[in-house]
Amino acid sequence: GQNIDQPTEMTATEGAIVQINCTYQTSGFNGLFWYQQHAGEAPTFLSYNVLDGLEEKGRFSSFLSRSKGYSYLLLKELQMKDSASYLCAVSLWGGGNKLTFGTGTQLKVEL
Amino acid sequence: NAGVMQNPRHLVRRRGQEARLRCSPMKGHSHVYWYRQLPEEGLKFMVYLQKENIIDESGMPKERFSAEFPKEGPSILRIQQVVRGDSAAYFCASSPRDRGLQETQYFGPGTRLLVL
């Protein structure tokens, strides 16, 4: 089966940097997605990694190590509006493009 | 430039009734996915459809649940004889035509089903 682990909750300060980790144990790994979800709203696409390394998009960056089954999402210059749940999701070869999600990391940004 | 549309946004049903959830994918997208999010749990895949075809329904409960994506009109997720355990947020996502690569899925706002 597949197993995806993320911390349940994290707290950080406005203006700081936070790293949200995701580890996975799957067979047939294809790629990894990060989504942001505010309470009561739709998940919003943040990033997609298929190769090892760092992908940077403005204040958000995502890293992948396929050999270690590990990814992280890095958020810089935190803003209050970044308080949300961050979802790590894995796609598998032959999985018909369906995504397997972790339970999400609830990030709280404080003053 | 409409995104993925879902309706209704909120749906209340009594036990034993039918729930019908609708999803219109983004313009130009021909792949639709349904996910369920139970309280305090992650999103769980239910079914993957293309126009007039169910591609993968491995996440669908064997009974009471069905999905379709007709040639014309929205995709429908139907839950017959609802029970309290069906109370959840149901999200639809869509992606562009499959070119053999992983395509990003874009999510709708969800339908929150409450079974009394």
Condensed to tens digits (0 to 9), the pLDDT of residues A19-44 reads 999 999 988 888 999 999 999 899 99
Report pLDDT for B102.
65
Report pLDDT for B42.
86
pLDDT at B100 over 60: no
Terminus-to-terminus CA distance in chain B, angstroms?
36
Q: Which residues of A touch B (CB under 8 A)?
A: 4, 30-31, 33, 35, 41-45, 48, 50, 87, 89, 91, 95-104
Report pLDDT for B103.
77
Residue B53 amino acid letter = N
Q: What percentage of chain A has pLDDT greater than the value 70?
A: 97
Output A28 or A16, whichever has higher pLDDT. Answer: A16
What's the mean per-residue pLDDT of chain B?
A: 92
Report pLDDT for A2.
76
Dihedral (Cα; A89, B102, B35, B60), 10-degree rounding? -110
pLDDT at A10 over 60: yes
Residue among A6, A51, A99, A100 with most chain B CBs within 10 A, to mutate:
A99
> Quick one: which of A87, A83, A63 has its CA closest to A14?
A83
Terminus-to-terminus CA distance in chain A, angstroms?
41
Residue among B57, B103, B105, B106 with most chain A CBs within 10 A, to mutate:
B105
Output A47 or B39, whichever has higher pLDDT. Answer: A47
Output B28 or A34, whichever has higher pLDDT. Answer: A34
The three-state secondary structure class of B89 is strand
Alpha helices in A1-111 (DSSP H): none
Q: How large is the average pLDDT for residues B59-87? A: 95
pLDDT band at B107 (very low <50, low <70, confident <90, very high): very high
Nearest neighbour of B42 by CB, restricted to A42, A44, A103: A103
pLDDT at A97 over 80: no
